[in-house]
Amino acid sequence: MNSVAVQQKRFAKFAPSNNSTTGYSPNGSQPIIRFSIADTKATADMKNARLNFRLRVLRAANTEVAVADDVNIDRRVMASGVIDQVIVSSRRYGNQLESVHNYGRLNSAWYDSNYSPKQMWCNQNLQTRSIGIGKADCFHSTGENVATLGNMGDQWARKQLFLNGNAGAQPPSSKDASMIDCSIPLHLGMFQSSDINLDAVGGLEIAIFLTRESFLLNGSGNNPPTAGSSYQLHDVSLSVPLLYYSAAEIAAQNAQPEQAITFMNWTSIYSVLDSTFTSIAHRLNLNNLLSSIHNTQPTASINTFANNNFALRDSGIEQLTFLKDGVKNPLEKTTIVDTPANQNINQRGTKQVEVLTEALGAYKNPIDVLYSQVTGENVTGPAAIAQGHHQLGVNYDPSGGVGINVAGTISYDIQTKLQQLGNATLTEPYAFYSFYLSKQGYLINQNGMIPI
């Protein structure tokens, strides 16, 4: 009897297959982290998989971050923001199983939608490391004013970025520098499915591309990040719970000439809103399309240190129509309640509760959306908030959870103000990030993995 096959469960820790002794950095010799998981007789619980690393941030070459420096990372995603793109492939068959671009924007929407701001502040921020170690100033208790450099929330986050010792040491060690210990989940569609049969898919090859410093870091006040700012990941590993098959289960699987597997995946597309009335069309070929989510950001704000690249900004939407093959389906909002036209976008969150409720329904059955997630207080946050909480979305099969088949065009008619950040009288183009969640099936036999 195979002794390994009768094990019940263990937590496997994988080192990168392109292991680096000098760390990983977007502008260094290792901007990609690769993991290889063998095609063993086990299922991988990827919902509980964690990417572990130590994060090191420098404001400038050999210069550590201080509380008074305006060097910030979005407090919703924090350490999760280091990932820009993820590609998952079959190790044995070579099929690309999922590829997610602009993963940081998906992550920002994920955290912003699945938790109310109060939940984020209480627990989820502890996982993403967006709350610092203690208060930076015990005489100020305000943690919500994000409009000023003196905001306590950002100062707490900066305490996480402190280094103790020699910031210029290369490579750093536990003696030279104290870095942030991080452990983050991966919100890929495939990883949100049921346990993955590693033998059936032929093992996994996971490639993680790191995001640029100008996307991760932001600040424009005292000592902001510059072209010399950098971050590095050290002691990187991937922890995955594995459940091994018994000898009887292995024999039963070996007796099957072929088997079918199904899992979810994200399809990501980038578009631009360049007119106050824009029609956007995406030609798709997806089986069991479950939902789509969309968020916007001014194109001039992308990859600039002066702006938070993870902010889900409201472009000033006024009308919205979803279409399938030119026919209105399944959502149309002809009149959307909005804040006054002369109020600047970066001084507000969104109060478009009817639109936000649809967006939250893209992640779960609308009946399971908590009312506490769409109250004015939680949606808008404090009056001075500049982070943004706006996104669009739709659930294509809220009751059945099966989805619809699309072999054509999903399009959108969008009327927006396209209000320029900082000037309510001017317009500017907005990036339109789209993510489609669908179910993908494969038939696995002696000929390999065949999409079905």
Torsion over CA of 321, 324, 327 and 331, rounded to 10 degrees? -30
Q: Where are the alpha helices (DSSP H) in 175-280?
A: 198-201, 213-216, 247-254
Strands 430-445 and 448-451: antiparallel
The 3-state DSSP class for residue 293 equals: strand
Whether omega for the bond prior to residue 171 falls within 30 degrees of 0, making it cis, is yes
pLDDT at 171: 57
Radius of gyration for the chain, computed over Cα atoms and rounded to the nearest angstrom: 23
Alpha-helical (H) ranges within 72-210 are 103-114, 117-119, 125-128, 152-160, 198-201
For residue 55, give Cα distances in angstroms to 105, 158, 445: 20, 13, 42
Q: Give the three-state DSSP class for 306.
A: coil
Distinct helix (H) and strand (E) counts, the chain: 9, 23
- The set of residues, in sequence order, having a beta carbon less than 8 Å from that of 261 and lying 6+ positions away, is 197, 200, 201, 441, 442, 444
| CATH topology assigned to domain 259-451 | Adenovirus Type 2 Hexon; domain 4 (2.70.9)
Backbone phi, then psi, for 429, in 5-degree steps?
-70, 150
As given in the structure block, the two tokens for residue 184 are 């983050």
| pLDDT score for 126 | 54
Report the DSSP beta bridge partners of residue 181. Answer: 54
Cβ neighbours for 148, distance < 8 A, ≥ 6 positions apart? none
Q: What is the mean pLDDT of each run of 10 residues along the chain (452 residues)?
A: 56 92 85 94 91 89 82 83 95 93 91 67 53 43 43 64 58 60 89 86 95 92 90 92 87 85 93 94 93 92 90 83 90 67 57 71 73 58 51 83 90 89 85 94 86 84
- Interatomic CA distance for residues 290 and 150, integer angstroms: 43
Question: Cβ-count burial of 425 within 10 angstroms (0-12 exposed, 13-18 middle, 19+ buried)?
Answer: exposed
Q: What is the pLDDT of residue 140?
A: 42
> In 274-324, which ranges are E strands?
277-298, 317-324
Residues in the chain: 452
CATH class of 4-254: mainly beta
The pLDDT value recorded for residue 135 is 42
Instruction: Say how far residue 15 (Cα) sits from the centre of its chain.
Output: 22
Residues contacting residue 372 through CB under 8 Å, at least 6 positions apart: 116, 118, 378
Which of 180, 215, 217, 211 minimizes the C-alpha distance to 72?
A: 217
DSSP state letter for 94: -
| CA of residue 175 relative to chain centroid, distance | 32
Q: At 367, phi and psi to the nearest 5? A: -65, -20
Domain chopping of the chain, boundaries: 4-254, 259-451
Check residue 243 and report its DSSP letter. Answer: E
- Are residues 225 and 59 in contact, defined by beta-carbon separation less than 8 angstroms? yes
